[in-house]
């Protein structure tokens, strides 16, 4: 997978074969409690990210998910989707709430296949605003109710994540489970904050980027204070080293290598990667500018977020907390 395809717009299986992968209360991700009984019977009405009211007759059990963060949340809540956009990519980048069974791959996260979605026979199609091209929306809504959540908001990244998770739980009738998961996340953040403080790292400048290497040219996707990853780091007691706000949704901006000289003294520099991507530090090994940076000289460079979807829900957020504490608080 090419790195520039990771963010969505911010920027065919017979029904019989699907029956086994559309059940609720399937085994939850490792380390999470088993799902309690549904806490809603129906009908259920929510207002989605488009400002549209959507009503289900009863909690959804056959969900097609069009975005990785919505897929993660559905699985975290104990429901295995019948259809998922980019199944292979999800398995590579999202380890917190793995898929089980064989959900239909319904296409890409920006161009879902109407035919594949229909064959999955969903009772709910769930994604983020932009998941369904406007030209296909009327046809998609003939298949099943469509709920599109707000994908990102740099003014309230953590609050939005919790809001989306709670809305998804309501659609699935899993409010009790959602409350448990969110309480566990809050406890994990509190413990992580204590660990950072105990290590004497409270207030330490922390930066996260994705490094693009194209020959001898390098650019960086910088995560600003409103990005979800840095917002979580701030909750742990760290200080955003990169203070530019970036775009209004994701809190991201682009920087060249020389711009890293603007990071403050004492910065802990994290760069995001994955097992399926090359480590860009190999390309930077002989770069004089890179090697002159204070955090490089001080060995405060950390490859982070391997297998962690840092734009995900509470399950991925827990992993991210542990990763930050391991890298910075060690």
238-262 pLDDT per residue, tens: 999 999 999 999 999 999 999 999 9
> What pLDDT, on a 0 to 100 scale, did the predictor assign at position 19?
30
CB 273 within 8 A of CB 306: yes
Q: Cβ–Cβ contacts within 10 Å for residue 231, how many?
A: 21
Q: Cβ–Cβ contacts within 10 Å for residue 279, how many?
A: 12
> What pLDDT, on a 0 to 100 scale, did the predictor assign at position 22?
36
- Phi, psi angle pair for 14, to nearest 5°: -60, 155
Q: Cβ–Cβ contacts within 10 Å for residue 117, how many?
A: 26
> What pLDDT, on a 0 to 100 scale, did the predictor assign at position 12?
29
CB 165 within 8 A of CB 209: no
* Of 209, 220, 263, 266, residue with least CA distance to 241: 263
Say if residue 1's pLDDT is above 70: no
154-177 per-position pLDDT tens digit: 999 999 999 999 999 999 999 999
Average pLDDT over residues 270-286: 86
Q: What angle do CA 111, 116, 117 make, to 5 degrees?
A: 80
Q: How far apart are CA 67 and CA 259, in angstroms?
A: 32
Mean pLDDT score of the chain:
88
CB 147 within 8 A of CB 10: no
pTM, entire model: 0.87
65-86 per-position pLDDT tens digit: 999 999 999 999 999 999 999 9
> What pLDDT, on a 0 to 100 scale, did the predictor assign at position 99?
96
CB 307 within 8 A of CB 292: no
Cα 95 to Cα 60, 184, 232, 312, distances in angstroms: 24, 18, 18, 11
Q: What angle do CA 314, 189, 68 make, to 5 degrees?
A: 20
Say if residue 37's pLDDT is above 80: no
Q: How far apart are CA 328 and CA 202, in angstroms?
A: 10
- Phi, psi angle pair for 172, to nearest 5°: -95, -5
Confidence of residue 40 (pLDDT cuts 50, 70, 90): low
Q: How far apart are CA 63 and CA 162, in angstroms?
A: 20
> What pLDDT, on a 0 to 100 scale, did the predictor assign at position 39?
53
Confidence of residue 276 (pLDDT cuts 50, 70, 90): confident
Q: How far apart are CA 74 and CA 169, in angstroms?
A: 8
Average pLDDT over residues 78-98: 96
The DSSP output letter for 162 is: H
Average pLDDT over residues 114-136: 96
Q: Cβ–Cβ contacts within 10 Å for residue 141, how many?
A: 13
Average pLDDT over residues 34-56: 79
Say if residue 15's pLDDT is above 90: no
- Which domains are seen in the chain, by residue range? 3-184 (3.40.50.1980), 186-328 (3.40.50.1980)
Cα 118 to Cα 49, 89, 295, distances in angstroms: 23, 21, 52
Confidence of residue 329 (pLDDT cuts 50, 70, 90): confident
Lowest mean pLDDT among 29-38, 61-70, 317-326: 29-38
Q: How far apart are CA 99 and CA 87, in angstroms?
A: 9
Q: How far apart are CA 268 and CA 176, in angstroms?
A: 38
Handedness of CA 64, 68, 74, 78 (dihedral sign): positive
> What pLDDT, on a 0 to 100 scale, did the predictor assign at position 175?
97
């Amino acid at each position: 997978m090419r790195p520039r395809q990771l963010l969505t717009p911010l920027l065919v299986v017979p029904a019989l074969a699907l029956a086994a992968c559309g059940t609720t209360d399937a085994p939850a991700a490792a380390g999470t409690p088993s799902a309690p009984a549904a806490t809603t019977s129906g009908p259920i009405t929510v207002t989605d990210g488009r400002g549209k009211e959507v009503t289900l007759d009863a909690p959804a059990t056959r969900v097609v998910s069009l975005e990785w963060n919505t897929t993660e949340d559905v699985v975290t809540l104990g429901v295995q989707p019948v259809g998922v956009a980019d199944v292979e990519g999800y398995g590579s980048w999202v380890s917190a709430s793995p898929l089980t069974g064989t959900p239909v791959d319904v296409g890409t996260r920006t161009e879902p296949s109407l035919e594949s979605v229909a064959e999955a026979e969903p009772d709910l199609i769930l994604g983020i605003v932009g998941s369904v091209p406007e030209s296909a929306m009327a046809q998609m809504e003939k298949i099943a109710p469509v709920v599109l959540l707000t994908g990102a908001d740099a003014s309230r990244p953590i609050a939005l994540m919790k809001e989306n998770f709670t809305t998804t739980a309501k659609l699935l009738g899993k409010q009790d489970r959602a409350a448990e998961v969110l309480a566990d996340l809050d406890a994990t953040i509190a413990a992580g904050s204590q660990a950072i403080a105990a290590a004497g790292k409270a207030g330490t400048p922390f930066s996260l980027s994705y490094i693009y290497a194209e020959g001898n040219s390098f650019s960086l996707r910088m995560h600003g204070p409103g990005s979800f990853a840095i917002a979580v780091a701030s909750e742990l007691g760290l200080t955003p080293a990169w203070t530019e706000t970036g775009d209004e949704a994701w809190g991201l901006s682009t920087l060249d290598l020389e711009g890293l000289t603007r990071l403050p003294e004492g910065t802990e520099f994290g760069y995001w990667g994955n097992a399926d991507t090359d480590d860009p530090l190999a390309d930077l090994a002989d770069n004089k500018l890179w090697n002159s940076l204070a955090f490089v000289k001080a060995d405060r460079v950390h490859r982070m977020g391997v297998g962690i979807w840092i734009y995900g829900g509470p399950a991925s957020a827990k992993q991210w907390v542990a990763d930050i504490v391991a890298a910075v608080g060690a």
